[in-house]
Amino acid sequence: MPTVKQKNAMTDANLARVPHECAIQLQAVYETLKTAEHKAADFILERSGEISGLSIVDFADRAGCSEATVVRLSKKLGYEGYPELKAAFDGGSLNNDPVEYENIVPDDDPLTVLHKVVESSVTALQDTEKVMDRTAYERALDAMLAAERIMFCGVGDAGVVAAEAYQRWVRMGQPCLHASDHDMQLILASKLKPADVLFAISHSGRTKTVLNVVRTAEKQGAVVIALTNFPISPLAKRASLTLQTAVFSRFATGEVMSKRLAELCVIESLSISFLMRKGEAYYRSLADSNNSVSINKL
């Protein structure tokens, strides 16, 4: 874990001097880095203006780590290696001054609060699109298309996202599983087969009950798709495929709606592509579902 000194490097002022996509990934992986990797990450945060002119040897020497550590960190930040990381600092777009919930102050009028919340949510959605692994996304869609059954799992607010996903696929006629009760989630996961998919949702990737469901599904041979904000979390490490969101807004409560908005957007995009790829039979099933509930409309 990072020391107090190392944590101080992860400040808004430092992040504002780092290219935007690099800043996103730094926030996603920072707490999971090893000591030597933290030295390299802190050097990026504190000495970002120097990086475009440094060789990997100079970077490692000034950061107090090995060249291999620099390469490992570069890859964790989404680059192929140090040359690509270095290039990002050569004229790359800076993180600027991200609007965050924590910037809401008691003197803000209601419309200012509205602006800050909306602006932060828009940024989260745009960042999620930027960091999404295109290959993992397409493979996740392919796995869902090939699945006999899809189980959606999440707890708390993520459970609401899982329930929404379940309803979307059920309306299309896809055999699905979902439960809000933790014990029932484990029971359903124990019935999965290699031809099935478990779609697990956890912003932190550290929710114990979700991880227990994942372990159970793995024993049954099911494909595990993770939707999480942190690509080096326990959930991401266990998953067959990981879809990453990029939401780092903060507020005193610790909970912000934007992290669920990003998850819902990923779910909706997958459901639309799923429907288009499945074709006429699923369109008919969706139409039937919509007609069946029309009786409840005035």
Tell me which of 115 and 70 has the higher pLDDT: 70
- Rounded Cα–Cα distance for residues 251 and 181 (Å): 28
pLDDT digits 0-9 by tens, 155-204: 999 999 999 999 999 999 999 999 999 999 999 999 999 999 999 999 99
What is the C-alpha separation between 138 and 159, in angstroms, rounded?
Answer: 24
Mean pLDDT of 57-70: 96
pTM for the structure as a whole:
0.81
How many angstroms separate the CA atoms of 156 and 216, rounded?
20
Classify domain 4-88 by CATH number.
1.10.10.10
Q: Which of 72-86, 109-123, 240-254 has the lowest mean pLDDT?
A: 240-254
Looking up tokens 């990923």 gives: 266
Contact between 196 and 151 under an 8 Å Cβ cutoff? The reply is yes
Three-state SS for 245? coil
What does the CA dihedral 202, 208, 211, 215 come to, rounded to 10 degrees?
A: -170
**What are the structural domain ranges in the chain?**
4-88, 130-296
pLDDT-derived band at 118 (thresholds 50, 70, 90) equals confident
**Other CB atoms within 10 Å distance of the CB of residue 110:** 7
Number of other CB atoms surrounding residue 238 within 10 Å? 17
Please state the CATH superfamily assignment of the domain spanning residues 130-296 in this structure: Glucose-6-phosphate isomerase like protein; domain 1 (3.40.50.10490)
Compute CA distances 94 → 8, 24, 134, 261, whole Å: 20, 11, 23, 24
